[in-house]
Amino acid sequence: MIFAGIVAGGMGSRFGSDIPKQFLKLGNKPIVVHTVEKFLLYSKFDAIFIGVNENWIPYAQDLFKTYGINSEKIFFSKGGKDRNLTIMSIIDDIEGKFGKSDDNIIVTHDAVRPFVTLRIIGENVEAAKLYGACDTVVNSNDTIVESDVERKEIRSVPNRKYMFLGQTPQSFNMSKLKIFFNNLSESQKSELTDACKIFTLNNQKVHLVMGEFSNFKITTMSDYKIANSLLEIKFD
Amino acid sequence: MINCIYQLTSPGKINLKFEDVNFKGKVIVKPRYMSICHADQRYYRGRRSREVLKKKLPMALIHECCGEVLEDYSNTFSVGSKVVLIPNVLSDVHQEGIFENYQKGSGFRSSGIDGFMQEIVAMDSNRLVPFNDYYGNEKVFAITEMISVAVHAVERFISNSHEKKERIAVFGDGNLGFLVSLVLKRTLPNSKIVVIGRHEEKLAHFSFADQTFVDIPENFEFDHSFECTGGAGCSDAVDKIIKFINPQGTVVLLGVSEEKVPINTRNILEKGLTFVGASRSGFNDFVNAVKFLEEEKFNRRVCNLISVGSKVNFIDDIHKVFEEVLNVPFKLVFEWNM
């Protein structure tokens, strides 16, 4: 079976807003609603789980009701302390509801990347089926430099040709993701910023899917303003 | 719902626009295969007047397309249905007795309204025609619109011509000439279909026609004719039609010309000819075009007209297919994966 795990557990601490940014309006609707609407159009998903901080679950449920999204495919999961724990919480709920299978695929995605396209979602599903894990990336147009631990001097300048910027979705064979996550030490887990690293730390290959620059993450207030200015609202 | 629309902003430049789509009561369709028409190329290459470009751009191109239903808020289609998308946008005021494609106030996608180069298209259910891909040739349904134009022209011809239809001449060996000849042969199997063109190698594709000519024999005659050349060839074709056609014949004009075309009105009067203009098509023409494409022989013949272009995954690929179309003899169809 194929599942989506939308990570919407953020509390808005980086954003300076009372309401977590995924619930703020982009055009006529909250950001997370736009994102989930796009996932609902991809008919191969058996279910879409949205991981939300537990205090915000009733709020999120109200929002989806308000905007007329009442698909039976949507479920809410309790968010964890960090991104990867939210994903693990979603996987637990999926397995509780639909049972375990070695063939299950999970497409994980940030709720605050509402400009994701059906092509990116479709290519993630196909790559996860074929390779077991994939990451969505875009070319790095700027040179990336790596600093020393004091962050004062350049340690290396990697060849830009092989540098990419990571986005989401990141998609995985669900049972492998769980096994590899549990293989990690607590210190490794605490340093994870990204689910694909769970695979690379276990010496597993992760396939690349080309994303789009427009599939950016709404992280700061200026991102939010850019996102709003990008979106035209059509009145019928 | 956020939709990505790929608009031509000026000749040769495609930009991405995001739009929040209201999908209430609409059918959400994912375009799957598209075909480039001459009109799209004229916009893309800037071969329209500055005034026209200024008025119509930015705009998403393409009006020949088939796709798949992703969601239906009108409860008409099931999810996954294969459909042909109709580019005509109906007029708010219905004028009795006038075909939908000639109604005042009607619109047309990729001519002032965004065409189908979009991630998804929110369509009214009466602008979609479902089809069955019996022969594994889904991409051929991308050119249903052009077939429907031929179907419409033949229908206009039948209702505007006398009964004697022994020999019908089609002028033009391009896409339109091919499809009009094919629809004529399918609709009027007892008539002899003669195709007059300029290229022997193109005429070789018209295997179903009864005769093909580059040079028309001196005493040749026919009862009716279709002009499918357009552009610079239009004037010469119309002149020859008037010369060789039998009295009281009907001439259907289909070719688009940017310039005004001089016409020998004296001989039109002398022969009592009827001229019928035909442009675009309507819902019923699409339904009939789909019926034809669901017939094996017709489907396979049209399939031979198609060259398959690159799959479009990124904006750069759009530019690629607009280059590829310059090198194909007939229709270019490409997969849309944006």
Q: Does B78 touch chain A (CB under 8 A)?
A: no
What was the pLDDT predicted at A234? 64
Mean residue pLDDT across chain B: 96
Provide, as residue numbers in chain B, all residues whose Cβ is less than 8 Å from the Cβ of A42: 70
Largest CA distance in chain B: 64
Q: Name the B residues in 14-43 with CB < 8 Å from any A CB.
A: 16-22, 28, 30
Closest-CA residue of B relative to A36 is B1
Confidence band for B326, pLDDT divided at 50, 70 and 90: very high
* Chain B nearest-CA residue for A69: B1
How near does any CA of chain A get to the CA of B157, in Å? 38
- Residue B245 and residue B171 in contact, taking contact as beta carbons nearer than 8 Å: no
Rounded to a whole number of angstroms, the distance from the CA of B332 to the nearest CA of chain A is 22
Q: What is the pLDDT of residue B91?
A: 87
pLDDT at B257: 85
User: Cβ of B28 and A41 within 8 Å?
Assistant: yes
Q: Is the pLDDT of residue A17 over 80?
A: no
Which chain B residue has the Cα nearest residue A231? B18
For residue A29, what is the nearest residue in chain B, using CA coordinates? Answer: B1
**Which chain A residues have a beta carbon less than 8 Å from that of B19?**
231-234
Inspect the interface and report whether the beta carbons of A210 and B313 lie closer than 8 Å. Answer: yes
Q: Name residue B170's amino acid.
A: V
Question: What are the structural domains, with CATH classification, of chain A?
Answer: 2-135+165-224 (3.90.550.10)
Residue A235 in this model has a pLDDT that exceeds 90? no
Residue A115 touches partner B, C-beta closer than 8 Å: yes
The alpha carbon of residue B64 is apart from the nearest alpha carbon of chain A, in Å, by 21
> Under a CB-based contact definition with an 8 Å cutoff, are residues B153 and B285 in contact?
no
Residues 95-154 of B with CB under 8 A from A: 119-120
Measure CB to CB from residue A232 to each of B20, B120, B313 and give the nearest one: B20
Mean pLDDT of B85-108: 92
Test the B interface: residue of A48, A64, A118 with most B CBs within 10 Å: A118
Cross-chain Cβ contact B20/A119 below 8 Å: no
Alpha-carbon radius of gyration of chain A:
18
Q: Could you report how far apart the first and last alpha carbons of chain A are, in Å?
A: 38
Q: What would the pLDDT profile of A36-84 be if each residue is shown by its tens digit?
A: 999 999 999 999 999 999 999 999 999 999 999 999 999 999 999 999 9
pLDDT at res. A9? 85
Q: Is the pLDDT of residue A16 over 60?
A: no
According to the model, what pLDDT value does residue B22 have? 86
Pick A231's closest partner by Cβ from B20, B30, B70. B20
**B-chain residues near A28 (CB < 8 A):** 20
User: Residue B268: pLDDT above 80?
Assistant: yes
By CA distance, what is B25's nearest residue in A? A236
Residue B316 CB contacts under 8 Å (≥ 6 apart), including other chains: none
- Answer whether A149 touches B (CB < 8 Å): no
pLDDT at B144: 98
B-chain CB neighbours of A115 within 8 Å are: 2, 4, 18
**Structure confidence by residue, pLDDT tens digits, A165-223:** 999 999 999 999 999 999 999 999 988 888 999 999 999 999 999 999 999 999 999 99
Does the structure show a pLDDT above 80 at B5? Answer: yes
Taking 80 as the threshold, does the pLDDT of residue B85 lie above it? Answer: yes
Distance from CA of B45 to the nearest CA of A (A): 26
- Taking the Cβ of residue A34 and every Cβ of chain B, the question of whether any pair is shorter than 8 Å is answered with yes
Contact yes or no for B311/B337 (Cβ under 8 A): yes
pLDDT value for B148: 98
Report CA A18 to chain centroid distance, whole Å: 22
A171: its two tokens: 């998609």
> Between A and B, how many CB-CB pairs are < 8 A?
61
Chain A nearest-CA residue for B19: A232
pLDDT one-digit tens code per residue, B108-160: 999 989 999 999 999 999 999 999 999 999 999 999 999 999 999 999 999 99
pLDDT in tens, A121-159: 999 999 999 999 999 999 998 999 999 999 999 999 999
Distance in Å, alpha carbon of B316 to nearest chain A alpha carbon? 12
Q: Are the beta carbons of B15 and B22 closer than 8 angstroms?
A: no
Peptide bond into A169 cis (omega under 30): yes
**Residue B178 scores a pLDDT above 70:** yes
The pLDDT value recorded for residue A210 is 98
SS (H, E, C) chain A: CEEEEEEECCCCCCCCCCCCHHHCEECCEEHHHHHHHHHHHCCCCCEEEEEECHHHHHHHHHHHHHCCCCCCCEEEEECCCCHHHHHHHHHHHHHHHHCCCCCCEEEEEECCCCCCCHHHHHHHHHHHHHHCEEEEEEECCCCCCEECCCCCCEEECCCHHHCEEEEEEEEEEHHHHHHHHHHCCHHHHHHCCCCHHHHHHCCCCCEEEECCCCCCCCCCHHHHHHHHHHEEECCC
Assess contact for A21 and A15: CB atoms under 8 A.
Answer: yes
- Residues in A closer than 8 angstroms to B16, CB to CB, are 214
B28–A214 C-beta distance less than 8 A: no
Per-residue model confidence (pLDDT) at position A236:
52
Token pair for B315 = 């904006």
| Secondary structure string (H, E, C) spanning chain B | CEEEEEEEEECCEEEEEEEECCCCCCEEEEEEEEECCHHHHHHHCCCCCHHHHHHHCCEECCCEEEEEEEEECCCCCCCCCEEEECCEECCCCCCCCCCHHHCCCCEEECCCECCCCECCEEECHHHEEECCCCCCCHHHHHHHHHHHHHHHHHHHHHCCCCCCCCEEEEECCCHHHHHHHHHHHHHCCCCEEEEECCCHHHHCCCCCCCEEECCCCCCCCECEEEECCCHHHHHHHHHHHHHHECCCCEEEECCCCCCCCCCCHHHHHHHCCEEEECCCCCHHHHHHHHHHHCCHHHHHHHHCCEEECCCECCHHHHHHHHHHHHHCCCEEEEEECC
- Domains delineated in chain B: 2-130+305-335 (3.90.180.10), 148-277 (3.40.50.720)
Which ipTM was obtained for this model? 0.85
- The per-residue pLDDT for A14 is 55
Q: State pLDDT tens for residues B298-314.
A: 999 999 999 999 999 99
Q: What is the pLDDT of residues B194-248, one digit of tens each?
A: 999 999 999 999 999 999 999 999 999 999 999 999 888 899 999 999 999 999 9
pLDDT at A147: 96
Residue B95, C-beta contacts closer than 8 angstroms, at least 6 positions apart: B103, B104
